[in-house]
Chain A
């Protein structure tokens, strides 16, 4: 019998410590700490959660509970071109769901997943404040308006040949 070892890179651990310290190592700050940690790493893999738990003195089950409860946390690395589909009311009414289904079909991934080549990931968003352009799709920082299922192919093609 022996202890369970969790491996993490020194620089990653330093970053986590820095974030936790900025929040006074307060267990009550867990959500904010996770938010910043995700901002830095792009996602929250197991070893990062273990390290956060260790720094804040919380059971790792608790950290995992919070990560799985809130939809804005993810344990899967985002694609290099993260695709977000607005499913806010205006976009929804104007057919966002059909657009979403088309992205799923063409990329062969579900919401919250990343394509095998690591290029694309798929997520849904609440109203992004561009209702006039509904349905709205974001790829990274770029906004696409009035997207129809037929237009999905072109959006994907735009990034397909990029690295």
Chain B
């Protein structure tokens, strides 16, 4: 490819033709502030509306300023990124944005983590000229089970739209109206809950302002802990331990499992358990279901549905319910680990500690926004009492720890309570793309072949970061084809293949978020740095390696649970407590 030479702030750099000023500058370590622009490397998403002009720079010989994120370099171009003219323009642009923005930073959920606030601080904005006359746009706040939309705070960067349409292919959000009334909203400006939104939270993960945030359950949690008559039980998802430290200034990829357990105890939880335990349980059920379908298929049963799709990501489940309702019988019927945990905690464990379920509050700490919605699904409750009372995100937990003034870094490394805190390496890797299917493979392989995996416990062919991956695992002479997709756009591609009858997969793992749950909508914000996701992935694999037991079926507490309570995997009790069914939630055009 043809290269061009450009000079930026007196430094010369050679870049391929077509490179933007922003990227050329980045190569030589010059940081140009951006607001609407977003690039998520490794997952192929670029949002480049060129609308906000915060990235304005001066180009020699051009009379107006150029948006660096959207202007391509040419040979001999000379750029200045911080002349007084540029700085003044930038400030005016941000002042203008702020004139139509609520000024409630002190109480805004995004405060301290908001890109607009950062810019205002950086540019030293002290007043907003013309504020007295400025007309403010007003929108009603929209509460869905997982996401709050406060469009008064929307700056129309359209990053959310890129995630929802391009990455997830959900199409719940779109830019509407023009000029002053412009916003990003579902069709007919209806509430998000009536749209095909999956609650994956990827729009929330990239929104630079407080316009999109999670439904906050921290107060409910404080109330529950404050009530002396309730037993409060925590479960923590695998991906949380690989990211929570970032909120306390630790390097991305730092594992804080033990410190997180201490923090939860310090906060006053009565029992600190692990969703990883339930992930092992999921593998018992899902693994057996896979083998059952597989063996029936190998025996020539043509009714059996293959490939089997994983079902532990509630955003993915809602996606298939909305967009591919005619395929809703191919995911595994196994509930997600969060829900398996809830139903076992409020039966098996509640019996052990002789506490009625109404007096027990099960709280999940999740990297996820869809889990908030999932915990509220009607089928996951008994007489109106939910199996999981509510779910808080990694970010909400971090806030609570800060609120309690606990110094996470210096907390001791504690261990989870028993029985539901015992888990294996297989449970941990649920937190990353490829992990669920690797965990299932470890168990299914041993059950099917009767042979121990020993040293070959790691299935490298299932690991990685590619959006769609294919691998073949040899089950002692029987080749098993496995597919992996993260991101619903990638999932859609695999589903369409299945629909056309072109798929030869036996099992497919699907996760809605980039990188799987490590990139969930409830995680510390990555601010468009996908290297952080990869560091979290490494941390998850590290945790797997540290575990003495790495196969779900060898978890002694899981074995005990089946022996004392559940009976057999896929048995009647397991079916009642650990399985579910799916619904057709699609929009249907009907003749009136």
Contacts and interface: CB of A to CB of B under 8 A. Distances in A.
A, B assembled together: yes
A157 interface: no
Given A59-B196, A65-B175, A54 B589 contact: yes
A2 interface: yes
B587 A60 contact: yes
B583 A2 contact: yes
A50 B584 CA distance: 18
B558 to A, nearest CB: 31
Interface residues of B, number: 30
A61 interface: yes
Contacts of B186: 61
A22 interface: no
22 contacts: A2-B583, A2-B585, A3-B584, A3-B587, A5-B587, A5-B588, A6-B587, A6-B588, A6-B590, A7-B590, A7-B591, A8-B592, A9-B591, A10-B591, A46-B187, A50-B587, A54-B589, A59-B171, A61-B173, A61-B187, A62-B165, A68-B177
B590 A64 contact: no
Given A58-B171, A61-B171, A61-B186, A4 B176 contact: no
Nearest to A10: B591
Contacts of B111: none
B195 interface: yes
A64 B585 contact: no
Interface in B313-372: 325
Contacts of A69: 175-178
B174 A64 contact: yes
B188 A3 contact: no
A59 B178 CA distance: 19
A63 interface: yes
Is the contact region of chain A dominated by helix, strand, or loop, or is it mixed? helix
A57 to B, nearest CB: 10
B378 A61 contact: no
Contacts of A3: 325, 584-588
B591 A13 contact: yes
A155 interface: no
A51 interface: yes
B172 interface: yes
Contacts of B586: 3-4
B194 interface: yes
B176 A59 contact: no
Nearest to B182: A69
Nearest to A59: B171
A63 B187 contact: yes
B172 A1 contact: no
A113 to B, nearest CB: 16
Interface of B: 165, 170-178, 185-188, 194-196, 325, 377-378, 583-592
B174 A62 contact: yes
Contact of B194 (A4, A8, A50, A59): A4
A65 B174 contact: yes
Interface of A: 1-10, 13, 46, 49-51, 53-54, 58-65, 68-69
A64 B187 contact: yes
B378 A4 contact: no
A65 B176 contact: yes
Contact of A8 (B170, B177, B591): B591
Nearest to B323: A59
A53 B171 CA distance: 11
A111 to B, nearest CB: 14
Nearest to B318: A1
Which of B173, B196, B590 neighbours the largest number of chain A CB atoms within 10 Å of its CB? Answer: B590
Top-8 shortest CB links A-B: A59-B171, A65-B174, A7-B592, A61-B174, A64-B187, A60-B187, A61-B187, A68-B176
B187 A49 contact: yes
Nearest to A53: B187
Contacts of B171: 58-62
Contacts of B591: 7-10, 13
A149 to B, nearest CB: 27
Contacts of B378: 1
A51 B589 contact: yes
Given A1-B377, A60-B587, 9 more contacts: A1-B585, A6-B588, A7-B592, A50-B187, A61-B187, A65-B176, A68-B176, A68-B177, A69-B178
B585 to A, nearest CB: 6
A68 B584 CA distance: 29
Nearest to B175: A65
A68 to B, nearest CB: 5
A4 B174 contact: no
Given A61-B195, A68-B177, A4 B592 contact: no
Contacts of A62: 165, 171, 174
Contacts of B589: 6, 8, 13, 50-51, 54
B584 A2 contact: yes
